[in-house]
Amino acid sequence: MKRYSRISGTGSYLPPHRLTNADLVADLAAKGVETSHEWIVERTGIHARHFADDGVFSSDLGLAAAQNALQAAGCAAQDIDLIIVATSTPDMVFPSTACILQNKLGANGCAAFDVQAVCSGFIYALTVADSMIKTGAANRALVVGAEVFSRILDFKDRTTCVLFGDGAGAVVLEASDTPGILASDLHADGKYVDILCVPGHVSGGAILGDPLLKMDGQAVFKLAVGLLESAARATLTKANMTDADIDWLVPHQANIRIMQSTARKLKLSMDKVVVTVDQHGNTSAASIPLALDFAVRSGQVKLGETLLLEGVGGGFTWGAVLLSL
Ligand code: ACO
pLDDT per residue as tens digits for the range 122-165: 999 999 999 999 999 999 999 999 999 999 999 999 999 999 99
Query: What was the pLDDT predicted at 118?
Result: 98
Per-residue pLDDT, 26: 97
At 286 the pLDDT is 98
What is the share, in percent, of the chain residues with pLDDT greater than 70?
A: 100
**Rounded distance from Cα 281 to ligand 1 centre (Å):** 14
CATH of 181-324, one of 3.40.47.10, 3.30.565.10, 3.40.50.720, 3.40.50.1580: 3.40.47.10
Q: Is 21 a catalytic residue?
A: no
Position 199 scores a pLDDT of 96
SS3 (DSSP) at 248: strand
Atom of ligand 1 lying closest to residue 255 CA: 44
Q: What number of residues does the chain have?
A: 325
- Rounded to the nearest angstrom, the distance between the alpha carbon of 283 and the centre of ligand 1 is 17
Kindly name the residue from 68, 161, 252, 255 that is annotated as catalytic: 252
The pocket around ligand 1, CB under 6 angstroms, is made up of: 35, 39, 43-44, 119, 158-159, 162-163, 196, 215, 217-218, 220-221, 224, 252, 254-255, 282, 312-313
Give the H/E segment covering residue 308.
strand 306-313
158 alpha carbon – ligand 1 mean position (Å): 8
Q: Do 4-176 and 181-324 come out as alike in CATH topology?
A: yes
Q: How far is the CA of 58 from the centre of ligand 1 (A)?
A: 27
Q: Taking the domains of the chain in order of start, what are their residue ranges?
A: 4-176, 181-324
Report how far residue 122's alpha carbon sits from residue 321's, in angstroms, rounded to the nearest whole number: 10
Secondary structure of residue 215 in the 3-state scheme: strand
Is 47 designated active site? Answer: no
Digit-coded pLDDT (tens) for 88-125: 999 999 999 999 999 999 999 999 999 999 999 999 99
Closest CA to 100 of 60, 72, 46, 56: 60
Atom number in ligand 1 closest to CA 314: 48
* DSSP 8-state class, residue 117: -
Rounded to an integer, what distance in angstroms lies between the CA atom of residue 317 and that of residue 227?
9
- Report the atom number in ligand 1 closest to the C-alpha of 43: 34
Give the mean pLDDT of the chain: 97
Whether 244 has a pLDDT exceeding 90, the answer reads yes
pLDDT for residue 1 is more than 90: no
> What pLDDT was estimated at residue 180?
97
pLDDT by residue (tens digit) across 30-76?
A: 999 999 999 999 999 999 999 999 999 999 999 999 999 999 999 99
pLDDT average, residue stretch 304-318: 97
pLDDT at 202 over 90: yes
* 282 has catalytic annotation: yes
User: How close is the Cα of 248 to the center of ligand 1, in Å?
Assistant: 28
Asked: is 4-176 a CATH 3.30.420.10 domain? The reply is no
Taking Cα atoms as reference points, which of 13, 95, 27 lies closest to residue 60? 13
Residue pLDDT, tens place only, 11-28: 999 999 999 999 999 999
Choosing from 119, 161, 255, 280, the catalytic residue is 119
Element containing residue 69 per DSSP (H, E)? helix 58-73
